[in-house]
Chains A and B, each alone.
Chain A
Amino acid sequence: MVTPLAIFAAFLATGFLLPLADKLGRRVSATLFWALLAGFAGLAAYYLASFVAAPGTLEIYTGGFEPPLVIALRLGLEESAALAAVAAVALLAAFSMRKALHEAPVSGMMTFLMLVMGLSGLVLTRDLFNLFVFLEISGIAGYALLGFDDRRLAMSAAFKYMVAGGIASAAYLVGVIYLYRLTGTLNLDLMIGSAGLEGAAGAAAVFFVLAALLVELKPFPANGWAIDAYEAANPGLGALFSGAQATAMLFALYKVFPLLSDAHLAVVMWAGIVTFAFSNLVGLRQTATRRMFGYSSAGQVGFVAAALAFGARYVEGSDFAWLVAGGLLVNHLLAKTGLFLLSAAFESDGDGSMKGRPGTLVAAAAGVLVAALVGLPPFPAFWAKWDLVRVALATREYAFVALVGAGGLFEAWYLFSWLVRLVKGGADETPEAAPVPVLRVGADGVGPVLAALGIAALGGLSAWTRGFTDPLFWAPLAGGLLFLALDRLPGKLKALLATAAIAAFGYFALPSMSEFQKLFALMILGGGALHAFAGGYLTGRRAGHFPLYVMTVLSLGYALVAESALGFFMAWELMALGGYFLVLQGAKGRSASMIYLAFSIGGAFLMMAGLQLGGGLIGGAAPSPAALALVGLGLLAKLGAFGLHVWLPGAYAEAADDFSSFFSASLSKVAVFALMAALAVFGEALPGGELAWRVVGWVGILGAVLGALAAIFQEDAKYALAFSSMGQMGYVLAALAMRDQMGWTTALYLAATHFLYKGMMWLSVAGASLRTGTRTMYLMGGLIKRMPISFVSFLVGIIALSGVPPLTGFGGKWLLYHSLIAKGWYFEAAASFLASGIAFLYLYRMIHSIFLGQPKDEHRTVKEAPFWLVLPQLLLLVAVIAFSVFPRLILDPIMAVVGARYPAAGFAFEGQTLVSSLGYWNGLLTIVVVVVVFVLTFIWMVMNLRKPRLVKQFNIVFAAERPFRPETTHFAFDFFAPYRRALGFLVRGRSEKAWTAVAGLATSVAGAIRRLYTGNGQTYALHVVLYVGILYLFLGVR
């Protein structure tokens, strides 16, 4: 094995040779530079490979003597991994900086090499003073590199960096001196366990070393200098700082952990996590990309340090450090490197405006990088976070968990906002604005794509090593990748393929499902396949739609069959991520997708905490009210329960029409599934007991009332349907909260029928808005004559939704009221009456405004909706009719499922009659009576019809006048003005205002904290000194 000393020799030699080679021409010196970097990377890879194959450590003693006489280096698995990381980042960064490096004086390349060498030394050395030397080498190289391209801003940043670095170095030296005095050695291994470290003096000495290393890790709030450096640095250099230097510094910190007492470690842990939360909070207000990445880097590094310290404090063995801190670190360094390189390629200058929009591949890479950084599956940070939170909850470090959650949420917000700016271009959401051109970045895209590939591979590896070998688990990702590869195919073909893919998933997944899971599989996978087919309704390729769609549907499918809490949660997060991107793809999806994301991530974190508290979803854990409450809150956010619903209308409405339909009809049901499953696992007890369930019931009912009320005032068809969905899911929630046989039967029945009729209505509206080119209802009208099938579908949908017998909806109402009254929830029942009455208003308004009334001249020639939309509607229509005629078809399986959980309580079928303790309902007889009466009446009408004359739209009695134009005759705008006068005050978006206030609070706090960062070097120096002092106080050394 090549001795690692060769690394230093080679770097130093090359460093000296470079100026000479440069005399022969830049080409020669550059070749030398690249050759060295490549060789270094190759060596690091070789080390890594050999240590993975044969674990062990290689101790290198310089000069042939044993320590303490000589400096010792160590090379093991950990060191080689860190070296590989440094090398990889260095290569990518150098590649990104190639132009600047080639053009600047040769000293640029030299300094670059020195920096890399210094970082390698930090990783390898086992000697405290040698560590200082490498600290200084890398530090000085860093200052120099910052200024190497001679920009004024960079020079000033470099100076501030130097000041902070100097303070840190001074502290370090002081610490090392004391340590040497106390232990008589500078070798770390000899120092560990030395009696000299006992007592206050030892603690203080260690503290100085620790403080120096911490300061070098750029902790909040003493990191103003670092942020300035990130902002000013060349993006490639930023990557190097954020990726390689942070890796090396964290490694150095990790190295000194054995010296630290628990109090020291606590300081590291809290300093790290506070940095994570607050750096990200400040990042909220940031728009300049590199500065934003600077905050993110500081936060992430703090997070890794915190995780390291946490592991050292609470967990035996090094596996935790490997999995969690290592996972977080590698995740951070690859993602951040990729992002810095992306910003170099796309950003025109530091203010966040973009030169152009990336193509599909680079956009996908950007998505992967951001998602990875935020800790979404399947990337390494996701798995790391899961473990970290599990242990943190087990050790009751709740504040720590809360900070992890908060920091992650803030980071997600600004990073995804940046991503939106990148892939959509600009900050303007007006549809009239010219589309941002795609910018071909060529070689500059290689770095980010490589980073994304690496991170994805590592993520996959993490999953695989955790025992996820089930093909169904991999299906969402594989499906997404497959369709990404097929993205060039025509949209209609892809729609068919996607249908097939989802059907295939169902075919493989169904055999292992319970009846309960099958019921939801019908809604989710069945709905997924239907909507995949409907996805063919648009012409063109629909670039990017199908990969995300297939991934989302299949991850929902996996969520149904997941056998572990982690698997379920992964699928859940993946689904949220897919949903986010699908909403973002909508023409005006920006702000809607961001709000959706915030609630998804927040909700998911609560859920994760709950799952961990409960100890696992499937496979009996002890009942835990707190776990149920947390999981439940997370699920309520996904369900769009009242108060947590503010994301819902926008997300439903602004996504592509077919996905809106899937979103509302199918996706929302997974929350119901999860809620029911959670009840099965965690028990039914909530903190607060029955009263809490009553509150949940009221949340559902309020959602039903206010959702319906908001729906009637919408002019946009999709918003109306979105609010309607919110209302309908409110009933489901209320029914679920009853937790008895009738309640759950009601909930499942409502969920299943909502899937059927809401799918019909969304798709019908999709067809209408496709043909008319608008979603605004009053601009449509009279489409019944042009789109009769869509009309019938919508009509059956509204009859079913409104609960008018004889269609399926009535069953839902019957069950709801019977169960509510039987349960003794009388006022809930009365409020449901009001809600279902209000539902009539928006349903009528929609069908009137879209399909009836006056047709517009420009819609006189529109055609029926495409076959791709019509067929799914017809299938749903058949299902609705079948379930209407024979309610047992759907109620029998539901009651079987519920019966397995709740004993029958005076509620069963007698023949075709459903009998409860309060009454009875015979669906078959009802529909027979209605149909017979209807047919007889119809015959009566036809028989009495004399000389019927079919007339045109303006052949109406218009007070002896003639109508002026269809637009002035179609009564559709502000349809329920009297209602607005009477009850409009109830729906003025109080929830929206409340959440806006919360968001406003966060951003203003961020703004206030940002004032710390004055840009003044002296202030920053003061920050650093004060920070060290305060940390010392926290240490509580007496």
Chain B
Amino acid sequence: MEPSIPLRIAYAFASLAVITVYGLLLIGSMARISAKVQGRVGQPVWQPFIDIVKSSGKRNSISHGVMFWLGPVFRLAGGVGTYMFVPAVLGSVVFQNFSMSGDLLLVMYFIFFGQLGMALGASEGGHPYSAIGVSRGLAQMTAFEVPFALSIISIAVQYGTLDITKIVMAQQGGFLNWTLFTNPLAVVAAMIAFLGMSGHNPFSVVIAPQEIPIGPPTEYQSNLLGMLQTNRAVFNGAKLVLYMNLFFGGATNVPVMVVKTFLIYFVNIFVGQAFPRFRTDQAIRFFLGVPTLIGIAAVVLFAF
């Protein structure tokens, strides 16, 4: 039943490869969908792959110091690590990853690992816009964490556990058992937080391309940028899988996972294409308003 250590590592690599490829394709297809919304043909679905190859194939690169180099390492390790701590597919040995390291809290806090490291790397770049971007990003993060945390607490109360596998198990046996239907308020709060987490409109002020040239990574280039692009896919994948597990019944096989995560991610595009951008302080006030109230209601509903 329990695979040996080398086998487990091999499985982890396989799992990682799948999520990377899938994550990149997801980004590509979402860009294409956005293009359709705007009446364009749009870039090829595989464009993210080409971009990463191009970035990694640059012939020279610059660095502002050791921490600058370590920033993307932290970021990518953060993304990969987050994924490693999430069981991606229920009952699958290959996609179990290293979820025995810890429960939901470990995943929630490990998300910060990459962000913190990246922020430090960007800081050493010495570019004021990097720091401004980080300042905005962190500020926004503290705000969307509140409805998210409330939602997590609500489902912890609901299922009596913070163990992701157990939460998924509890949702098996028909879609009506999904958290989406058993605890819709928590899901709504968490999905609003997800919009903030993904940094699409209306919460894209962090990387505002025109105003503060894409924020934190403004000095990153070449293979460092390539790593950041790769991380985007892995990290997105990890977050989507986490959301799927917590709120949408998880997945018992890869195709189900693909369909569900695609649809979850699609919410971003759906909202992002329709709304303009919040300023940072507006975003903070927004998250601490209605979404937080929804989260509180979700907790109250199950706790009392």
Instruction: Check if A360 is an interface residue, CB within 8 A of chain B.
Output: no
Closest partner residue, chain A, to B59 (CB atom): A946
B288 — which chain A residues lie within 8 A by C-beta?
A: 982-983
Q: Which of B153, B161, B288, B295: most chain A Cβ within 10 A?
A: B153
Main secondary structure of the interface of B (DSSP, over half): helix
A488-522 residues at the B interface, CB under 8 angstroms: none
A918 adjacent to B156 (CB under 8 Å):
yes
Given contacts A830-B150, A853-B131, A978-B139, contact A949 B65 (CB under 8 A): no
Please report the number of residue pairs spanning A and B whose Cβ atoms sit closer than 8 angstroms. Answer: 249
A948 — which chain B residues lie within 8 A by C-beta?
A: 60-63, 69
A852 adjacent to B101 (CB under 8 Å):
no
A926-951 residues at the B interface, CB under 8 angstroms: 926, 929-930, 933-934, 937-938, 940-941, 944-951
Instruction: Check if B125 is an interface residue, CB within 8 A of chain A.
Output: yes
Closest partner residue, chain A, to B146 (CB atom): A834
Q: Interface 1/0s, chain B 84-122, versus A by CB < 8 A?
A: 110000000000001011111110011011001001100
B120 adjacent to A795 (CB under 8 Å):
yes
- Among B112, B139, B213, B227, point to the contact of A804 (Cβ < 8 A): B112
A975 adjacent to B135 (CB under 8 Å):
yes
A918 adjacent to B116 (CB under 8 Å):
no
Instruction: Check if A132 is an interface residue, CB within 8 A of chain B.
Output: no
* C-alpha spacing A838/B138, complex, angstroms: 8
* C-alpha spacing A944/B55, complex, angstroms: 10
A963-1001 residues at the B interface, CB under 8 angstroms: 969-972, 975-976, 978-979, 981-983
* C-alpha spacing A969/B125, complex, angstroms: 11
B135 adjacent to A840 (CB under 8 Å):
no
Instruction: Check if A61 is an interface residue, CB within 8 A of chain B.
Output: no
Q: Interface 1/0s, chain B 54-82, versus A by CB < 8 A?
A: 00101111111111011011101100110
A852 adjacent to B149 (CB under 8 Å):
no
Instruction: Check if B269 is an interface residue, CB within 8 A of chain A.
Output: no
B145 — which chain A residues lie within 8 A by C-beta?
A: 833-834, 837
Instruction: Check if B209 is an interface residue, CB within 8 A of chain A.
Output: no
Instruction: Check if B44 is an interface residue, CB within 8 A of chain A.
Output: no
B77 adjacent to A934 (CB under 8 Å):
yes
B142 adjacent to A918 (CB under 8 Å):
no
Instruction: Check if B29 is an interface residue, CB within 8 A of chain A.
Output: no
B127 adjacent to A852 (CB under 8 Å):
no
A837 — which chain B residues lie within 8 A by C-beta?
A: 141-142, 145-146
Chain A interface residue count, Cβ-Cβ cutoff 8 angstroms: 77
- Among B74, B156, B280, point to the contact of A978 (Cβ < 8 A): B280
B84 — which chain A residues lie within 8 A by C-beta?
A: 929, 933
Closest partner residue, chain A, to B162 (CB atom): A919
- Among B77, B222, B223, point to the contact of A933 (Cβ < 8 A): B77
Given contacts A840-B138, A852-B123, contact A830 B156 (CB under 8 A): no
A975 — which chain B residues lie within 8 A by C-beta?
A: 131, 135
- Among B58, B62, B103, B138, point to the contact of A920 (Cβ < 8 A): B103
* C-alpha spacing A847/B67, complex, angstroms: 12
B109 adjacent to A804 (CB under 8 Å):
yes
B163 — which chain A residues lie within 8 A by C-beta?
A: 918-920
Minimum Cβ distance to chain B for residue A281 (Å): 44
Q: Interface 1/0s, chain A 809-837, versus B by CB < 8 A?
A: 01001100110010010110110011001
A775-834 residues at the B interface, CB under 8 angstroms: 782, 784-785, 795, 798-799, 802-805, 810, 813-814, 817-818, 821, 824, 826-827, 829-830, 833-834
Given contacts A969-B126, A979-B281, contact A814 B139 (CB under 8 A): no
Q: Which of A933, A950, A959, A981: most chain B Cβ within 10 A?
A: A933
B80 adjacent to A969 (CB under 8 Å):
no
A805 adjacent to B296 (CB under 8 Å):
no
A824 — which chain B residues lie within 8 A by C-beta?
A: 303
Minimum Cβ distance to chain A for residue B200 (Å): 19
B138 adjacent to A844 (CB under 8 Å):
yes
Closest partner residue, chain B, to A785 (CB atom): B65
Closest partner residue, chain B, to A969 (CB atom): B128
Instruction: Check if B232 is an interface residue, CB within 8 A of chain A.
Output: no
Instruction: Check if B136 is an interface residue, CB within 8 A of chain A.
Output: yes
A913 — which chain B residues lie within 8 A by C-beta?
A: 100
B63 adjacent to A949 (CB under 8 Å):
yes
- Among B64, B72, B101, point to the contact of A951 (Cβ < 8 A): B64
Q: Which of A830, A847, A940, A971: most chain B Cβ within 10 A?
A: A830
B65 — which chain A residues lie within 8 A by C-beta?
A: 784-785, 950
A799 adjacent to B142 (CB under 8 Å):
no
B146 — which chain A residues lie within 8 A by C-beta?
A: 830, 833-834, 837
B128 adjacent to A805 (CB under 8 Å):
no
B126 adjacent to A826 (CB under 8 Å):
no
Minimum Cβ distance to chain A for residue B68 (Å): 9
Minimum Cβ distance to chain B for residue A973 (Å): 11
Instruction: Check if A58 is an interface residue, CB within 8 A of chain B.
Output: no
* C-alpha spacing A969/B129, complex, angstroms: 9
- Among A818, A954, A958, point to the contact of B162 (Cβ < 8 A): A818
Minimum Cβ distance to chain B for residue A267 (Å): 58
Instruction: Check if B24 is an interface residue, CB within 8 A of chain A.
Output: no
* C-alpha spacing A830/B143, complex, angstroms: 12
B101 adjacent to A929 (CB under 8 Å):
yes
Q: Which of A930, A970, A972: most chain B Cβ within 10 A?
A: A930
Given contacts A804-B112, A948-B62, contact A821 B73 (CB under 8 A): no
* C-alpha spacing A996/B124, complex, angstroms: 42
Minimum Cβ distance to chain A for residue B192 (Å): 15
Instruction: Check if B276 is an interface residue, CB within 8 A of chain A.
Output: no
A804 adjacent to B116 (CB under 8 Å):
yes
What are 30 sample pairs from A and B whose C-beta atoms fall under 8 A apart? A782-B126, A785-B65, A799-B116, A802-B112, A804-B112, A805-B110, A805-B113, A813-B109, A818-B105, A818-B162, A824-B303, A837-B141, A840-B142, A841-B135, A844-B120, A852-B123, A917-B160, A920-B102, A922-B100, A922-B102, A925-B100, A930-B110, A933-B77, A937-B77, A937-B227, A940-B227, A945-B223, A950-B65, A979-B284, A983-B288
Interface positions of B (Cβ within 8 A of A): 56, 58-67, 69-70, 72-74, 76-77, 80-81, 84-85, 98, 100-106, 109-110, 112-113, 116, 119-120, 123-129, 131-132, 134-136, 138-139, 141-143, 145-146, 149-150, 153, 156-157, 160-163, 213, 218-219, 222-224, 226-227, 279-282, 284-285, 288, 295-296, 299, 303
**Top 8 closest A-B pairs, CB basis?**
A919-B103, A837-B142, A852-B123, A833-B149, A978-B280, A944-B223, A919-B162, A971-B128
